[in-house]
């Protein structure tokens, strides 16, 4: 009965997220209203049914998870012109430019486009609901919490491979192949490390049961499909980011096991070198060869340079979440007839739109999550939890690198998935449980004849 209940509660956010994934990544405005409403209903229902048994969240992460949407709401509060002159002089300058055209406004919001900021405030609230739900359920469900992610990623990968075979751009149900690759690179680490979690939880001196062997093969098969889908997309970062995530996971595993794992890290490094040579297709290699020319042709380097003017104009409180496109027009010099709605760098755009104050809140939130996940990966009680934490580190590393040259976190399905992973990562508690009899270092608490309990 408890398993059915857990499956139902997990199914609600999973269906909402899957809807966003398969509807072009959730970028369509009408779809956004549907899945945000569904998330709100699911979160409210869960709270009403479980409010007495809710686990307390680590202080820093808990405060920042609520503070970030609250900050976006603050950007929507009308303020007197005199207050705005202190908080955001560039915003008042825009108001003065309209004084001769329309009636003089005495009040305005920090956001230069309140409607866009409202839309992103609602999205942030939705991500916060997903984050809090997965934190509450993650400690109990553990690997089961990532099963919907693996299923959706495999389906998207199969679709992308079929598209590539038909001579089309492999982008799954997404509009953009780089955002499609962003989904796959966040799912890949879990499919890779789950077999290791199963193996570490078994006492192979008593034989190797068939059931965990089949589960390990299925997981490795899923990882192969996901990697093949990412390669089929011909996304350059869709190739580099997974390799970077594997490197990050190897470093975390090495730090958790001491110097005895140095040989494994060396083997991993050699494997990565082979991957760089053997895996890319001729088309992908060609795209890497013209990467510098593409950056110049697309105007991305000029875009970043010109965007720095926005940072200087709105240094503390930003121009408003989602307001980059309108605010940037004043600073755009190159390709003046082309409108840029994204900075193609999530960090730069968040800094512009949220300002230093909001950016620090987001940085504190992610920093606290990564730090706790790192401790969990090094000290967790059993392989089930430890390797789940390592998988979370790998997923966050992949999307963190990709965000340097793209706007994956402005794609709702991918941002929602990151919130999902962060909630699960934060739910893993480091430093509890028994020792693992296999090596005296890693603890184990699961049945030696079965797969991890959460997937039975």
Among 251-255, 388-392, 428-432, the least confident range: 428-432
Provide the H-helix boundaries in 258-345: 262-278, 282-289, 291-297, 300-313, 324-328
Q: Is pLDDT larger for residue 249 or for residue 431?
A: 249
Mean pLDDT of the chain: 84
Orientation angle between helical segments 177-200 and 210-232, nearest 10 degrees: 160
385 in Cβ contact with 375 (< 8 Å): no
Domain membership of residue 368 (yes or no) is: yes
160 in Cβ contact with 229 (< 8 Å): yes
Residue 78's pLDDT band, with cuts at 50, 70 and 90, is very high
Domain count, the chain: 1
Residue-level pLDDT at 337: 63
Largest Cα–Cα separation, the chain? 85
- Distance between CA 128 and CA 187 in Å, rounded? 20
Element (H, E) at 210: helix 210-232
Q: Find the mean pLDDT for residues 339-354.
A: 92
Residues 6+ apart with CB under 8 A from 427: 55, 134, 135, 136, 137, 138, 139
Per-residue model confidence as pLDDT tens digits over 287-312: 776 666 555 545 678 889 999 999 99
- Distance between CA 224 and CA 191 in Å, rounded? 9
Residue-level pLDDT at 456: 38
Domain membership of residue 102 (yes or no) is: no
Per DSSP, what are the bridge partners of residue 380?
A: 430
Instruction: Tell me which residue range forms the domain holding 376.
Output: 2-76+111-455
Q: Find the mean pLDDT for residues 178-183.
A: 96
Among 178-187, 209-218, 276-285, the least confident range: 276-285
Q: Find the mean pLDDT for residues 239-248.
A: 89
Domain membership of residue 93 (yes or no) is: no
Structure tokens at 100: 């001769």
Per-residue model confidence as pLDDT tens digits over 405-455: 999 999 999 999 999 999 999 999 876 444 443 443 333 333 333 344 444
For the beta carbon of residue 185, count every other beta carbon within 10 angstroms: 32
Residue-level pLDDT at 297: 46
Residues 6+ apart with CB under 8 A from 431: 375, 379, 380, 381
Residue 268's pLDDT band, with cuts at 50, 70 and 90, is low
For the beta carbon of residue 45, count every other beta carbon within 10 angstroms: 12
Orientation angle between helical segments 177-200 and 236-257, nearest 10 degrees: 30
411 in Cβ contact with 181 (< 8 Å): no
Percent of the chain scored above 90 by pLDDT?
53
Orientation angle between helical segments 383-402 and 346-379, nearest 10 degrees: 160
Per-residue model confidence as pLDDT tens digits over 41-56: 999 998 888 888 788 8
- Distance between CA 358 and CA 364 in Å, rounded? 10
Residue 139's pLDDT band, with cuts at 50, 70 and 90, is confident
Q: Find the mean pLDDT for residues 80-105.
A: 84
Residue 332 backbone dihedrals phi, psi, to 5 degrees = -80, 125
Predicted TM-score of the model (pTM):
0.89
For the chain, give the number of residues: 456
Residue 144's pLDDT band, with cuts at 50, 70 and 90, is very high
Per DSSP, what are the bridge partners of residue 419?
A: none
Residue-level pLDDT at 281: 72
Residue-level pLDDT at 444: 34
Domain membership of residue 91 (yes or no) is: no
Residues 6+ apart with CB under 8 A from 49: none
Residue-level pLDDT at 358: 95
Going by C-alpha positions, the residue among 415, 409, 389 that lies closest to residue 145 is 389
- Distance between CA 107 and CA 288 in Å, rounded? 50
DSSP state of 225: H
Q: Is the pLDDT of residue 149 over 60?
A: yes
Domain membership of residue 308 (yes or no) is: yes
Orientation angle between helical segments 147-165 and 210-232, nearest 10 degrees: 50
Q: Find the mean pLDDT for residues 11-18.
A: 93
Cα angle, residue 114 at apex, residues 111 and 117 outer, rounded to 5°: 80
Domain membership of residue 240 (yes or no) is: yes
The CB-side HSE value for 334 (13 A sphere, CA atoms) comes to 13
Domain membership of residue 178 (yes or no) is: yes
DSSP state of 166: T
Residue 203's pLDDT band, with cuts at 50, 70 and 90, is low
In the numeric block, the tokens 């926005």 are attached to 310
- Distance between CA 442 and CA 348 in Å, rounded? 40
Q: Is pLDDT larger for residue 248 or for residue 204?
A: 248
Residue-level pLDDT at 51: 82
Q: Find the mean pLDDT for residues 90-114.
A: 83
Residue 244 backbone dihedrals phi, psi, to 5 degrees = -65, -40
Q: Is pLDDT larger for residue 124 or for residue 97?
A: 124
Domain membership of residue 87 (yes or no) is: no
Element (H, E) at 29: helix 29-50
- Distance between CA 262 and CA 252 in Å, rounded? 12
Q: What is the SS3 assignment for 456?
A: coil
- Distance between CA 46 and CA 59 in Å, rounded? 22
């Amino acid at each position: 009965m408890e398993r059915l209940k857990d499956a139902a509660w997990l199914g609600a956010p999973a269906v909402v997220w899957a809807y966003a994934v398969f509807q072009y990544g959730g970028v369509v405005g009408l779809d956004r209203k549907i899945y945000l409403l569904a998330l709100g209903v699911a979160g409210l229902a869960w709270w009403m049914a479980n409010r007495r048994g809710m686990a307390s969240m680590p202080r820093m992460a808990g405060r920042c998870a609520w503070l970030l949407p609250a900050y976006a709401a603050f950007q929507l509060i009308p303020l007197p012109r005199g207050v705005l002159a202190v908080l955001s002089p560039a915003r008042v300058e825009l108001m003065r430019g309209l004084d001769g055209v329309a009636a003089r406004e005495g009040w305005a919001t920090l956001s230069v486009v309140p409607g866009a900021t409202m839309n992103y405030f609602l999205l942030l609230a939705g991500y916060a609901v997903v984050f809090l739900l997965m934190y509450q359920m993650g400690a109990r469900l553990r690997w089961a919490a990532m099963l919907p992610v693996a299923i959706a990623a495999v389906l998207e990968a199969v679709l992308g491979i079929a598209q590539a075979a038909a001579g089309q751009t492999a982008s799954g149900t997404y509009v953009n192949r780089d955002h499609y690759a962003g989904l796959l690179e966040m799912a890949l680490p879990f499919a890779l490390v789950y077999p290791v979690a199963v193996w570490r939880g078994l006492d192979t001196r008593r034989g190797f049961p068939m059931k965990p062997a089949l589960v390990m093969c299925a997981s490795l098969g899923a990882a192969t499909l996901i990697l093949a889908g990412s390669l089929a997309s011909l996304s350059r970062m869709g190739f580099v980011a997974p390799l970077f995530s594997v490197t990050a996971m190897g470093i975390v595993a090495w730090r958790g096991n001491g110097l005895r794992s140095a040989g494994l890290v060396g083997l991993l490094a050699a494997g990565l070198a082979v991957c760089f040579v053997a895996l890319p297709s001729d088309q992908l290699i060609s795209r890497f060869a013209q990467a510098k020319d593409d950056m110049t042709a697309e105007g991305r380097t000029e875009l970043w340079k010109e965007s720095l003017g926005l940072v200087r104009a709105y240094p503390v409180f930003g121009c408003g979440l989602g307001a980059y496109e309108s605010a940037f027009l004043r600073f755009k010099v190159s390709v003046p007839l082309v409108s840029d709605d994204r900075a193609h760098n999530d960090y730069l755009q968040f800094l512009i739109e949220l300002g230093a104050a909001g950016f620090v809140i987001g940085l504190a939130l992610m920093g606290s999550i990564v730090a706790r996940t790192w401790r969990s990966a090094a000290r967790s009680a059993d392989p089930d939890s430890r390797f789940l934490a390592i998988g979370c580190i790998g997923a966050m590393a992949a999307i963190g690198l990709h965000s340097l040259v793209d706007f994956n976190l402005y794609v709702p399905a991918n941002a929602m998935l990151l919130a999902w992973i962060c909630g699960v990562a934060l739910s893993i508690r480091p430093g509890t449980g028994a020792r693992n009899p296999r090596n005296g270092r890693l603890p184990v608490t699961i049945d030696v004849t079965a797969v991890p309990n959460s997937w039975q």
